[in-house]
Amino acid sequence: MDKAQIQHLGMLARIKLSEQEVDTLATEISSILEYVSTINSLVDVEAGEQAVGPVHNVFREDQITTPSGTHTADMLAAMPETDGAFLKVKKILDQSH
């Protein structure tokens, strides 16, 4: 990619790029695109085949390790403000919109 294409890409992404950033990206983007091309060549997207690593589920089933309420008293004691069994925290969201 040349500098004009990088500036155009920045404009499309609504990112203001300095001249130094454009120069840096001009040298780095070709290696990034080459790396992505290498990764894409390892995977036949249309056939759904993958040439790298086994496909497996990385999620585990949820398991309850402690009974409900085990740490509630300790947690409430550590809080500066509580309301019954609830922790009171500072309001951070404005819901007027």
The pLDDT tens digits for 39-49 are 877 766 566 65
**For residue 8, what are the CA distances in angstroms to 31, 80, 94?**
19, 52, 36
What pTM was estimated for this model as a whole?
A: 0.39
pLDDT, one tens digit per residue, over 16-70 is: 999 999 999 988 988 888 888 888 777 665 666 555 566 666 787 888 888 888 9
Both tokens assigned to 89 = 């925290």
The fold for domain 3-46 equals: Histone, subunit A (1.10.20)
| Residue boundaries of the structural domains of the chain | 3-46
